[in-house]
């Protein structure tokens, strides 16, 4: 399978199709719930802040099991894990659409997140197997699109289904993508393996408890309907697990997290910058559809159609980002992207009506968000050796999802706080202040980007 198809081998083309399908499915599913929240609040007889558990439980499932995904992939092979995780993800999508209980919806979303924890990092690891480092810019130009387009297309697809059918159908859109990826994986993908390394199961268990309990504690912190004693128990378990994990990991010869990766300057900068960016833009994704529906009294479809202007920005940035990286390097490109993204987010805080200004602001949000995600995703692997690819992918993906989950929690918390201060229920001013808060969070990543040299990442741009 070495025949060239334009700029790609046939192996790379099939790999891109499989990975793009899985990434698009996962990213649509992670955000499609947002546009249906106003309807689901009525169906489940709850409130926005309680229903966000269906969003964050999915992200927590991802975060808890991603650390083990690289080791599992090395042991059983990328093909086997992709087949298993894809099947589980699709089945849980069907289950989410069939349930009539908020508790079971949260459980199914958690299981769906666990499936995604194996599916997405292993799919990214597959890219590192079939593309060289020098080809990663070319690969991520295509592979990065589902990652950015998913959160943008989700409101459009979800809005249509919620308006003309009902909320259950938003979970069933995964079925055709899942079947296509399942067929292509079985027929065309090789079962790549790496040399098996020992895994510290005890350390992982305590790390998983720390992540899960800590995340749920943050999620429940501003929910008065949840007993305070339960919250304190969650916090105590999280802190205890974190301490035990640290003690085990410190003396382990086979740590769950390969801390030597943080000695790589570009990985270190990309890692923490991405968490900040994910928090800001994850919070934006959560409240944007709610902002349009509740403030301007739009139905789900109208809100989703308006959000398509963000996807126009993403598409417009596709070739611009690659050319910018080649012309200006990673530091300058990320600096421009960070400043642009902060301004675009802040401008959402002055939108007062539906019109050309809103469309322009959404377009700019798409352009600069795409530039941030694509540049950081490529920069991660500048100095990473092939033997550490699995660990690097797992570590990065875990904290990316935690960053997104934190963003949802922070955005919901700020919105709740501003509603209380203004003594209103989802006023436009409360949304505006929340967008400004997210803009401030976003620009904090520039403190890390400033530590890059102007030549960092040039090895990835050597070949076109």
Residue 236: partners with Cβ closer than 8 Å, 6 or more residues away: none
CATH number of the domain encompassing residue 428: 1.20.1250.20
Measured CA distances, 6 to 3, 9, 12, 89, 181 (Å):
10, 8, 11, 33, 23
Q: Cα separation of 406 and 355, whole Å?
A: 31
Instruction: Look at residue 1 and tell me if it is in a domain.
Output: no
Instruction: Look at residue 122 and tell me if it is in a domain.
Output: yes
Instruction: Look at residue 84 and tell me if it is in a domain.
Output: yes
Q: Cα separation of 247 and 227, whole Å?
A: 31
Domain that holds residue 133: 8-199+256-461
Residues 338 and 442 in one domain: yes
Q: What are phi and psi of 9, to 5 degrees?
A: -75, 165
| pTM score of the predicted model | 0.79
Q: Cα separation of 200 and 391, whole Å?
A: 13
Q: With the C-alpha atoms ordered 253, 257, 261, 265, is the resulting torsion angle positive or negative?
A: negative
pLDDT reported for residue 144: 65
Residues 449 and 439 in one domain: yes
Q: Cα separation of 141 and 358, whole Å?
A: 27
Among 228, 255, 282, give the residue marking a domain's end.
255
Cα angle vertex 22, ends 36, 5, to 5°? 135
Q: Cα separation of 370 and 338, whole Å?
A: 11
Instruction: Look at residue 69 and tell me if it is in a domain.
Output: yes
Return per-residue pLDDT of the chain as tens, 464 residues: 333 445 667 777 777 778 878 888 877 887 788 788 888 888 888 887 788 888 888 888 888 888 887 778 778 888 888 899 999 999 999 999 999 888 899 999 999 989 988 887 677 677 777 777 667 666 766 766 776 677 677 888 888 898 898 889 999 988 888 888 888 888 877 777 766 667 788 888 999 999 889 888 888 876 766 777 888 899 999 999 999 998 988 877 777 788 888 888 888 899 999 999 999 998 998 889 889 988 998 888 898 889 889 888 888 887 788 888 888 888 999 999 999 999 999 999 999 999 999 999 999 999 999 899 888 888 887 887 877 776 787 788 778 888 888 888 899 889 988 988 888 778 899 999 999 999 999 999 999 999 988 888 777 765 44
Instruction: Look at residue 2 and tell me if it is in a domain.
Output: no
Among 234, 255, 276, give the residue marking a domain's end.
255
55 conformational bin, left if phi > 0, alpha if psi -120 to 50, beta if neither: alpha
CB atoms within 10 A of CB 381: 26
Q: What are phi and psi of 4, to 5 degrees?
A: -85, 135
Q: Cα separation of 48 and 32, whole Å?
A: 15
Residues 241 and 374 in one domain: no
Residues 350 and 249 in one domain: no
> Are 27 and 154 within 8 A, CB to CB?
yes
Residues 450 and 366 in one domain: yes
> Are 419 and 291 within 8 A, CB to CB?
no
Residues 249 and 171 in one domain: no
Which tokens is 9 given? 């081998």
Residues 237 and 365 in one domain: no
Instruction: Look at residue 195 and tell me if it is in a domain.
Output: yes
pLDDT reported for residue 4: 44
pLDDT reported for residue 197: 66
Among 209, 231, 255, give the residue marking a domain's end.
255
Residues 227 and 186 in one domain: no
Q: What are phi and psi of 299, to 5 degrees?
A: -80, 175
- Looking at the structure of the chain, the number of domains it has is 2
Residues 218 and 185 in one domain: no
pLDDT reported for residue 2: 39
Residue in 32, 14, 73, 15 with CA at minimum distance from that of residue 397: 73
Rounded to the nearest angstrom, the gap between the alpha carbon of residue 310 and the centroid of all alpha carbons in its chain is 17
Residues 295 and 239 in one domain: no
Residues 415 and 437 in one domain: yes
Q: Cα separation of 346 and 66, whole Å?
A: 33
Residue in 148, 181, 179, 185 with CA at minimum distance from that of residue 28: 148
Instruction: Look at residue 262 and tell me if it is in a domain.
Output: yes
Instruction: Look at residue 3 and tell me if it is in a domain.
Output: no
Residue in 143, 148, 146, 140 with CA at minimum distance from that of residue 461: 140
pLDDT reported for residue 3: 36
Residues 173 and 304 in one domain: yes
């Amino acid at each position: 399978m070495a025949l060239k198809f334009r700029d790609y081998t046939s192996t790379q083309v099939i790999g891109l199709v499989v990975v793009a399908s899985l990434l698009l499915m996962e990213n649509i599913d992670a955000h499609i719930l947002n546009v249906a929240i106003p309807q689901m609040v009525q169906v489940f007889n709850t409130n926005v802040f309680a229903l966000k558990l269906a969003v964050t439980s999915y992200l927590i499932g991802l975060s808890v099991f991603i650390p083990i995904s690289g080791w599992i992939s090395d042991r059983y092979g990328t093909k086997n894990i992709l087949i298993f995780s894809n099947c589980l993800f699709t089945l849980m999508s069907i289950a989410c659409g069939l349930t009539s209980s908020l508790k079971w919806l949260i459980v199914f979303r958690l299981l769906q997140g666990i499936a995604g924890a194996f599916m997405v990092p292993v799919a990214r690891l597959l890219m590192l197997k079939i593309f060289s480092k020098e080809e990663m810019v070319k690969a991520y130009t295509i592979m990065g699109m589902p990652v950015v387009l998913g959160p943008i297309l989700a409101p459009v697809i979800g809005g249509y289904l919620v308006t003309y059918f009902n909320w259950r159908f938003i979970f069933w859109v995964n079925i055709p993508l899942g079947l296509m990826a399942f067929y292509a994986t079985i027929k065309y993908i090789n079962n790549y393996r790496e040399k098996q390394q020992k895994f510290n199961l005890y350390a992982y268990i305590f790390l998983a408890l720390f992540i899960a309990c800590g995340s749920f504690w943050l999620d429940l912190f501003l929910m008065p309907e949840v007993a305070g004693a339960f919250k304190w128990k969650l916090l105590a378990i999280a802190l205890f697990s974190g301490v035990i994990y640290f003690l085990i990991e410190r003396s382990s010869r086979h740590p769950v997290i390969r801390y030597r990766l943080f000695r790589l300057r570009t990985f270190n900068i990309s890692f923490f910058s991405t968490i900040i960016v994910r928090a800001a833009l994850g919070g934006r994704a959560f409240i944007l559809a709610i902002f349009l529906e509740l403030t301007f009294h739009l139905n789900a479809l109208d809100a989703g159609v308006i959000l398509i202007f963000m996807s126009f920005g993403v598409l417009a940035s596709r070739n611009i980002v690659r050319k910018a990286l080649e012309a200006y390097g990673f530091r300058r490109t990320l600096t421009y992207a960070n400043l642009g993204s902060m301004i675009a987010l802040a401008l959402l805080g002055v939108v007062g009506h539906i019109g050309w200004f809103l469309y322009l602001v959404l377009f700019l949000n798409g352009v600069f968000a795409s530039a941030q995600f694509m540049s950081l995703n490529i920069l991660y692997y500048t100095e990473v050796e092939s033997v550490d690819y699995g660990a690097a992918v797992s570590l990065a993906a875990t904290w990316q999802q935690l960053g997104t989950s934190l963003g949802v929690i922070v955005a919901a918390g700020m919105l709740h706080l501003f509603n209380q201060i203004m003594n209103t229920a989802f006023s436009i001013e409360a949304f505006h202040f929340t967008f400004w808060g997210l803009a401030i969070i976003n620009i904090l990543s520039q403190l890390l980007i400033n530590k890059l040299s102007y030549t960092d990442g040039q090895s990835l741009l050597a070949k076109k």
